Amino acid sequence: MRDIMGMMGKVKEMQAKMEQMQAEIAELTAEGKAGGGLVTVLISGKGELKSLKIDPSLFKEDDVEILEDLIVAAHKDAKDKAEALAAEKTKALTAGLPIPPGFKLPF
């Protein structure tokens, strides 16, 4: 019976740590750049676009498609960085747990 109570305590402790980690991840920001810095995006740890900066030199009629592609590329760059930061945070929390490869936290 004591083992079950000990296990329940560990589960509650892990749950509290997970909630704290999710809150910390939500507060993270990641910056992505494309076109050598001509387009810059800032996203939250949850992947929400927070800001977009476009170099004025790209405001030409002929360059609309290029600009669109650079925005998408900058967003992907920022999202990849945010996911890497989240993975670092979860690594410490899940150390020693048998988690399958490719399984991502938080859910």
Comparing CA positions, the residue from 45, 92, 51, 102 lying closest to residue 74 is 51
* Residue 11: pLDDT band with limits 50, 70, 90: confident
Question: Tens digits of per-residue pLDDT, 56-84?
Answer: 888 877 777 888 888 888 988 988 888 88
Question: Tens digits of per-residue pLDDT, 12-46?
Answer: 888 888 888 888 888 888 899 998 998 898 988 88
Angle subtended by helix axes 64-93 and 2-27, to nearest 10: 150
> In which residue are the tokens 């048998």 written?
98
**Global pTM value:** 0.58
CATH number of 1-93: 3.30.1310.10
Comparing CA positions, the residue from 30, 8, 9 lying closest to residue 89 is 30
Question: Cβ distance 15 to 99 under 8 Å?
Answer: no
Task: For the chain, give every domain's residue range.
Answer: 1-93
